[in-house]
Amino acid sequence: MNISPINSAVTSPKSNVNFNGIMDKMAEGVAKGYSKVGNTDTFCKAMDKLGGSDKLMLHLSTASSAVTSGLYIYKNLTDKKKTKNEKITSALNQALTFGISTALSYGVSSALGKASKNLCGKFGEAVSKRGYDQKKIDMLKDGAKNAIDLVVCSSINRFVVPVAVTPVANKLGAKLCNYLDAKDAAKAAKA
Amino acid sequence: MAIQAINQATQMPKANTQQNVNFNGFLDSKAFEAVAEFAGKNSATFNAASSLLMAGVLRPAAIMALPAKDEQEQKNKGIAAAHAIASGLIGFAITSTVMKPISAGLSKVMGNTEKYLPKLHEKMQQNPLLEKNVKKVMQFGPDIILAVPRALLTSKLSHVVEGALFGKKKKAAKAEAAAPQLAAQPVQQVQSERPVLDGFKGGSK
């Protein structure tokens, strides 16, 4: 269920020589930075405590999504170009997408992972009977895992939940807006 | 329900149902092998392009295809679709620029932990879960830091996308609202009984 963009970013072997030279230098710089952080006492102690958790990746993914969604909600609510209804609906849309995606990640991620693994296993069995060398089989298995994960896992967070949540957010946003308007009107009438 | 169905489809014996035969048939097909080959050879391009396709094309198209009760709901759908497109584009841009050297650097570290992470190297050799988690923490560190500029850029870009894709409707609606006032002016001019005086704009001497 990992949707971190870093997973997608891999250096291309087809790049030209100069670009590879720059990339190598940058990668070396990044590696040294990681090395500095990774050898600090704080990091080592934290990894001693957290290193055994089998749900650490899920927690990190949730933390990353929480920061992004929190900022989207804040930006939507403080957007001067939007009307009250638009602000509330957009913020609700973000909040519901984050909430439902996170709940699904914690609730069914292992089942989805299992389903994905099953499909990958079946594809691996089929491919190994086609007389390819081991390198090609491994490459095909990696590719199939990418494609199956995309359909089974990523599509839920990136497509199904955001689309399903939109009409719900529209309805809730309109109701909340009407409620707030009525409350304001009642206050104004009292004054 | 969907997950149960997937599990059942993958766990059932081969000849049990026609549906299962078709599912395995798809995995056995040359078409899926071609997809797997492309994804395996060009994993970066496949991941970035599929994310862009999903968030930037399929998601906004599906959102815009949903029914809307009134104009406000239609406008809110436009905002959600514009956000999806902006998020897809920014994600693609970040993945193909900033994340590349970070990912390459992380690969270097994890490929030679003895050199780059001497304090954790031995423990990671003994415990594969620790090695996996160290990698994940290092992956998500920059991801969480980049979440801030990512969200701010997405927010800015979604306004541009919304204006570009749905701005015409707004302009058309404004033009329609202004049209009756403009149409009323020529009628007044025709009805005027003092055309020479009405056209006189000179000052008093």
Distances (CA, A) of A114 to A65, A107, A149: 23, 13, 11
* Cβ contact, residue pair B136, A57, below 8 Å: yes
- Across the A:B interface, residue pairs with CB atoms under 8 Å apart total 278
Instruction: Enumerate residues 6+ apart whose C-beta is below 8 A from A160.
Output: none
Instruction: Enumerate residues 6+ apart whose C-beta is below 8 A from A139.
Output: B37, B40, B41
pLDDT score at A97: 94
Would the ipTM clear 0.85, i.e. be above it? no
d(CA B102, CA A33): 10
Residue among B187, B196, B4 nearest A115 (CA): B4
Closest residue in A to B127 (Cα–Cα): A52
Residues B110, B135: contact at Cβ < 8 Å? Answer: yes
Interface probe, candidates B4, B7, B10, chain A, greatest A C-beta count within 10 A = B10
CA A158 to chain centre: 8
HSE-up (13 A, CA, CB side) for residue B32: 23
Question: Is the predicted pLDDT of residue B66 greater than 80, yes or no?
Answer: yes
pLDDT score at A91: 95
pLDDT score at A96: 96
* E strand residue ranges, B103-188: none
pLDDT per residue, tens digit, chain A (191 aa), is 444 555 545 444 444 445 578 888 899 999 999 999 999 999 999 998 888 787 888 888 888 889 999 999 999 999 988 999 999 999 999 999 999 999 988 887 777 778 878 888 888 888 888 888 888 888 888 888 888 887 777 788 889 999 999 999 999 999 999 999 999 999 999 87
Residues 31 through 60 of chain A touching chain B, CB cutoff 8 Å? 31-35, 37-39, 44, 46-48, 50-54, 56-57, 60
Residue among B117, B118, B137 nearest B129 (CA): B137
d(CA B151, CA B86): 10
